[in-house]
Amino acid sequence: MTGETLVYKRPETLIKDKGFTFCPGCGHGVVLKIIAELIDEFGIRENTIAISSVGCSIFLEKFYELDVAGASHGRSPCVATGIKRSLPDKFVFTYQGDGDAATIGFNETIHTACRGEKITTICINNTTFGMTGGQASATTLVGQVTTTTPRGRKAELTGYPLRVAETVANCEGAAYVARVAISSPKYIKQAKKAIRKAFEMQLKGLGYSFVEVIAACPTNWHMTPVECIDYIENTVEKVHKLGVFKDITEGENI
């Protein structure tokens, strides 16, 4: 037909015949799609290497038409560092959960930021170890029920939630750090803007970029997807506040 304008098409970076395999209401699919769209828009698919790790990100190669390297639990930044230093012209990003990047592998995340490695980390924070059984992570809220905190997280026993983005932003090698959410169309647009900026930081060789994405885990939160939206906007965001925590080029908020 003639006279029609194409307004949207499936990103070429997404494998065409692969359906959604995450739990109903999970936020991973939204973020994976945003990343695929940006890779297409930047025209870097043939030059990109993604790093997956243990957790829901372990299936990265099943969704992307990309070179994907696997890492052991929490060690994606190490693998990404080695690849980027060996192949500095490649675009390298890690896709991790909070159990991976902020708990078992937080030491790797922080030292990667301190070194200013020219890679990008996308951290999906659903305040739990989503894939491995719903255990508490470093970002779990006080009072939150998990399989390892059945009566709710108690600060006097396991401390307070780690503010990942704020901590990473304090590292001198971090060039761009933001926390976003994907619980509404408005937030999804802001998330894409933040991830775009993080990618630009790497493409310009300015340092480490880190975007934390607040996303739902209905299975381990024991909520419906609609209930998760309310929980994110009225509970999670009060602890893990949204915003840009570091931007060495502008210092602007989203």
Domain layout of the chain by residue ranges: 28-247
Average pLDDT over residues 82-89: 98
Token pair, residue 157, equals 């026993």
Q: Assign domain 28-247 to a CATH class.
A: alpha beta
Q: What is the pLDDT of residue 254?
A: 47
pLDDT tens digits, 35-57: 999 999 999 999 999 999 888 87
Q: What is the pLDDT of residue 7?
A: 82
Nearest to 215 by CA among 130, 148, 147, 137: 130
The pLDDT-based confidence of 221 (bands split at 50, 70, 90) is: very high
Average pLDDT over residues 96-122: 96
pLDDT tens digits, 114-169: 999 999 999 999 999 988 888 999 999 999 999 999 999 999 999 999 999 999 99
Q: How far apart are CA 254 and CA 234, in angstroms?
A: 20
Q: What is the pLDDT of residue 251?
A: 55
Minimum mean pLDDT range among 6-15, 96-105, 147-156, 163-172: 6-15
Looking at every residue in the chain, the average pLDDT score rounds to 93
Q: What is the pLDDT of residue 30?
A: 94
